[in-house]
């Protein structure tokens, strides 16, 4: 068990702030509806202090600064992903909200359904890959998609990673991804 009484929190906060500034240096001053570097530091320290086991950190794992730096990086990734979906301040005249609502149009729905059907054809009778394709609709887009897929499929995350690799080795699947403009987004 780590000794939290010996932690210099002022120094830790400064180190995390420097890391946060480096992580968000290329982003707008604020992102994901107003999150700043300072907010990332606060979120990280709050998560650490509110966790009953210090987010699983022990002195054997290395320095707390490095460990929490990784936590901060993951929190920033989550905010950047959200920022891709909707970004900008309500007070900003040049906010970058989408001009249309986010709901798919009937055309989008048709194309998506057509794409999924063609994926099913491409994988044939391989039930594991068919299950993977089906499970993708059950994910929220959170930062740990493999875990979400594993939970939905009743598998381990490493099994999901292997299934995704198998899917991406299928030549017909790769052709469909290029045709439908999905890149390598599986």
5-29 per-position pLDDT tens digit: 777 788 888 888 888 777 776 555 5
Contacts (Cβ under 8 Å, ≥6 apart) of 78: 142, 143
Give residue 88's pLDDT: 53
Instruction: Write the pLDDT tens digit of every residue in 129-140.
Output: 989 988 887 777
Question: Of 104, 124, 137, which Cα lies nearest the Cα of 166?
Answer: 124
Contacts (Cβ under 8 Å, ≥6 apart) of 171: none
Residue 181: is its pLDDT beyond 60?
yes
Give residue 186's pLDDT: 44
Instruction: Write the pLDDT tens digit of every residue in 147-169.
Output: 888 888 889 999 999 999 999 99
Q: Contact, 169 vs 186, CB < 8 A?
A: no
CA atoms within 13 A on the CB side of 91: 3
Q: Average pLDDT of 85-110? A: 59
Distance CA 153, CA 136 (A): 10
1: pLDDT confidence band, cut at 50, 70 and 90? very low
Residue 33: is its pLDDT beyond 90?
no
Give residue 64's pLDDT: 81
This model's pTM is above 0.95? no
Residue 63: is its pLDDT beyond 60?
yes
Q: Contact, 86 vs 97, CB < 8 A?
A: yes
- The two three-digit tokens of residue 134, written as one number: 């089906």
Give residue 162's pLDDT: 94
């Amino acid at each position: 068990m780590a000794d939290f009484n010996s932690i210099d929190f002022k120094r830790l906060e400064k180190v995390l702030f420097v890391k946060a500034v480096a992580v968000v240096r290329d982003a707008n001053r604020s992102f994901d509806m107003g999150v700043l570097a300072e907010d990332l530091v606060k979120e990280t320290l709050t998560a650490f202090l509110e966790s009953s086991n210090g987010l699983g950190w022990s002195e054997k794992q290395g320095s707390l600064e490095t460990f929490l730096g990784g936590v901060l990086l993951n929190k920033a990734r989550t905010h950047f992903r959200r920022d891709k979906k909707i970004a900008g301040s309500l007070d900003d005249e040049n906010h970058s909200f989408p001009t249309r609502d986010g709901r798919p149009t009937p055309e989008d729905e048709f194309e998506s359904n057509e794409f999924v059907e063609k994926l099913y054809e491409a994988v044939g009778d391989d039930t594991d890959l068919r299950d993977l394709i089906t499970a993708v609709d059950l994910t929220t887009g959170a930062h740990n998609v493999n875990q979400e897929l594993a939970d939905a499929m009743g598998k381990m995350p490493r099994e999901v990673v292997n299934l995704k690799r198998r899917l991406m080795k299928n030549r017909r699947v790769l052709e469909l991804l290029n045709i439908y403009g999905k890149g390598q987004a599986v």
